[in-house]
Amino acid sequence: MDALILGIVVAPLLSAALTQLLSGRLGRRVARISIVGLSATFAGSLLLFALTLAHPGDRTLSLGGDWGILLIDPLSVVMAMVVSGISLIVHLYSRRYMAEEPGYARFFVLLDLMTAVLLTMVAAGGLVTLLIAWHLVGVLLYLLLGQETRSTSAYRYAFWTMFTFRLGDLPMVLAAALLHDAFHTWSLTRIFAALAAHPQTTTLGGLPLATVAAALVALSAFARSAQFFTHTWLPYTMGGPTPVSALMHAGIVNAGGFLINRFAPVFVQAGGVLHGIFVVGLITAIAGSVLMLAQNDVKKALGYSTMGQMGFMIMECGVGAFSLAIYHLIAHGVFKGTLFLGSGGVIGEARKDDRVPKDDLYTFVVERKPARQRRPWLLMAAITLAVPAVILFLAHYLVERHFFEQEGAVVLLFFGWITGAQLIFATYRMRSENRVRLFALILVSFTVVVVGYTLVAHSFDLFLYPDPAFRARIYGAAGIGLLSFDLLTVLVTGVIVAGWLVAFYGDQRRLYDRAWVGGLRRRFFTAMARELYVADIYGRIGRRLLAGAERLNTTLGGW
């Protein structure tokens, strides 16, 4: 297994070197080397996964010293499979997609290097190894986004990405420094063992080490996963080649969820940080979703959609559902990767014929004009609220009966209930020739999704965190006390129900036609369309800093 994990990391490096060496001789055919290398890596990852299932237990491989360490554990094995699988698909897609582009061989070299670095990152067993890989992901993404070298704007937005990633690297360097200072080792397994043995260890100013380190790691995760205020790079990097967008959205932006999982033994000692993570994730999920709806540019909207998903993934970590976040990042990666890789074909076909029938569904989804038939609405409202709740509770009850004892799980159930209710409510507002059939189809889909999601999430939980006591500790750390939890639940329910009522009565009494409401909506829409002015503010700060540096250089001259 040791040789296998090393082989998985080294194979893309070798294919990168061979691709560069033979590019002059083989021309466009050089991509085959890269694809063969990645196929071998993916096969190796599958084999490693099978071996880990057959022989459970963590293993480390030291590449020299205390800091060059690779770790074979369920998390690294699952992530290696995901990274190599997605990368292989991107390689296969790029072979033809990039054929007319300049820098064909360079693109595959960078893609191979990125894969090697991502695999090193997920298998890093030492803090320095993790730092190296974490840092290099940002650098390589910068180069991949700047693939179109004639475009200075591509470099501009690639720089935004790199700068945000670099900002996110720095808290992790500090976290590594403090953990190393406390336990005199760079090895993650030793650090986690020492922290479990001495959870009260303190650091700067007598603060708990676990809390400080967890907060710093969380900051790094936020920057990488485009959480609110560090998100501006994500929607603006759509100018890069489509395969890079696919890789970025499927395998890079979700690294925040991986990082929090990797440091799970630190986070179980830092419940307060988990609450903060939940709040940041929640804000990001809401902001990303709202900003997505306000964009006219489809690619930008996709970027904000990813931001919203990342917010939800981070939120899952905040409620203690760590393994669910991993499942989420994989599901989102596959889903969003497919969307990006298919976007070119869809756009091409839509230019000829959009093939959208101008029926009720079109007017509802595109023109946002719901059909006005709502009888018997009271019955529908009851069904809307009751059906998802029944499905969700039954699914979880069948899979894991103790699930309801965990606050984090209840939060997710609540979210699932609201989403399901919204879905059924939307169905009710649509006009259809066969409403029973439409409703039944949606109900079946919802049930399949919920049961599938519950089963898979539970399996992930068992695989990634086999120790039930540790699983309970994660949920325990994320808990906030029964009274606070109940109060919050009531408050959130109240806000949602109030929102629904306002929407309903606003529509009934034509509230939206009034001038002051219209003005308010326009201002809100402008703020959203301008992305809450966050990018503008950053741009202004950057220009001021550059102007200051120029003035300083003019004043000081050659000093």
Torsion-angle region of residue 432: left (phi > 0), alpha (psi -120 to 50) or beta?
Answer: beta
Task: Name beta bridge partners: 69.
Answer: 62
429: nearest Cα among 493, 366, 365, 505: 365
User: Taking the complex as a whole, how short is the minimal distance between the CB of residue 12 and other proteins, in angstroms?
Assistant: 16
Q: Which is nearer to other proteins, 63 or 520 (CB)?
A: 63
Q: Which is nearer to other proteins, 143 or 496 (CB)?
A: 143
Contact assessment for residue 387 and residue 443, using Cβ atoms and an 8 Å cutoff:
yes
Contact assessment for residue 197 and residue 212, using Cβ atoms and an 8 Å cutoff:
no
Burial of 521 (0-12, 13-18, 19+ CB in 10 A): exposed
Instruction: Give the whole-angstrom CA distance, residue 470 versus residue 473.
Output: 5
Tokens 């582009």 identify what position? Answer: 101
Instruction: Give the whole-angstrom CA distance, residue 410 versus residue 393.
Output: 10
Instruction: Give the whole-angstrom CA distance, residue 12 versus residue 19.
Output: 10
Q: Which is nearer to other proteins, 124 or 411 (CB)?
A: 124
Q: Which is nearer to other proteins, 214 or 480 (CB)?
A: 214
User: Taking the complex as a whole, how short is the minimal distance between the CB of residue 153 and other proteins, in angstroms?
Assistant: 9
CA quadruple 295, 299, 300, 302: dihedral sign: positive
User: Taking the complex as a whole, how short is the minimal distance between the CB of residue 550 and other proteins, in angstroms?
Assistant: 4
* Residue 517 tokens, joined: 């409401």
Q: Which is nearer to other proteins, 18 or 154 (CB)?
A: 154
Q: Which is nearer to other proteins, 152 or 296 (CB)?
A: 152
User: Taking the complex as a whole, how short is the minimal distance between the CB of residue 558 and other proteins, in angstroms?
Assistant: 6
Contact assessment for residue 123 and residue 61, using Cβ atoms and an 8 Å cutoff:
no
What 3-state class would DSSP assign to 59? Answer: strand
Q: Which is nearer to other proteins, 171 or 281 (CB)?
A: 171
User: Taking the complex as a whole, how short is the minimal distance between the CB of residue 433 and other proteins, in angstroms?
Assistant: 55
User: Taking the complex as a whole, how short is the minimal distance between the CB of residue 460 and other proteins, in angstroms?
Assistant: 31
Instruction: Give the whole-angstrom CA distance, residue 31 versus residue 36.
Output: 9
Supply the DSSP string of 109-169, one letter for each residue: HHHHHHHHHHHHHHHB-BHHHHHHHHHHHHHHHHHHHT-STT-HHHHHHHHHHHHHHHHHH
Q: Which is nearer to other proteins, 198 or 369 (CB)?
A: 198
Q: Which is nearer to other proteins, 153 or 484 (CB)?
A: 153
Contact assessment for residue 61 and residue 70, using Cβ atoms and an 8 Å cutoff:
yes
Instruction: Give the whole-angstrom CA distance, residue 259 versus residue 227.
Output: 14
Q: Which is nearer to other proteins, 237 or 384 (CB)?
A: 237
The CA-atom distances, in angstroms, between 242 and each of 96, 165, 314, 341, 427 are: 12, 20, 25, 7, 34
What letter would DSSP give residue 71? E
Instruction: Give the whole-angstrom CA distance, residue 450 versus residue 31.
Output: 41
User: Taking the complex as a whole, how short is the minimal distance between the CB of residue 111 and other proteins, in angstroms?
Assistant: 16
What 3-state class would DSSP assign to 295? Answer: coil
Task: Name beta bridge partners: 71.
Answer: 60
Q: Which is nearer to other proteins, 106 or 299 (CB)?
A: 106
Residues that bind other proteins (CB under 8 A): 24, 64-67, 103, 106, 128, 131-132, 135-136, 139, 142-143, 146, 149-152, 154-156, 159, 162-163, 166-167, 170, 173-174, 176-178, 180-181, 186, 203-204, 545-546, 548-550, 552-553, 556, 558-559
User: Taking the complex as a whole, how short is the minimal distance between the CB of residue 302 and other proteins, in angstroms?
Assistant: 25
User: Taking the complex as a whole, how short is the minimal distance between the CB of residue 267 and other proteins, in angstroms?
Assistant: 20
Q: Which is nearer to other proteins, 146 or 235 (CB)?
A: 146
Q: Which is nearer to other proteins, 498 or 549 (CB)?
A: 549
Instruction: Give the whole-angstrom CA distance, residue 75 versus residue 255.
Output: 12
User: Taking the complex as a whole, how short is the minimal distance between the CB of residue 148 and other proteins, in angstroms?
Assistant: 9
What 3-state class would DSSP assign to 60? Answer: strand
Instruction: Give the whole-angstrom CA distance, residue 275 versus residue 258.
Output: 18
User: Taking the complex as a whole, how short is the minimal distance between the CB of residue 547 and other proteins, in angstroms?
Assistant: 8
User: Taking the complex as a whole, how short is the minimal distance between the CB of residue 131 and other proteins, in angstroms?
Assistant: 7
The torsion angle over the Cα atoms of residues 130, 135, 136 and 139, rounded to 10 degrees, is 170
Spell out the residues 6+ positions from residue 72 whose beta carbon is closer than 8 angstroms to its own: 1, 2, 5, 48, 52, 58, 59, 60, 61, 123
User: Taking the complex as a whole, how short is the minimal distance between the CB of residue 279 and other proteins, in angstroms?
Assistant: 25
User: Taking the complex as a whole, how short is the minimal distance between the CB of residue 401 and other proteins, in angstroms?
Assistant: 46
Q: Which is nearer to other proteins, 26 or 47 (CB)?
A: 26
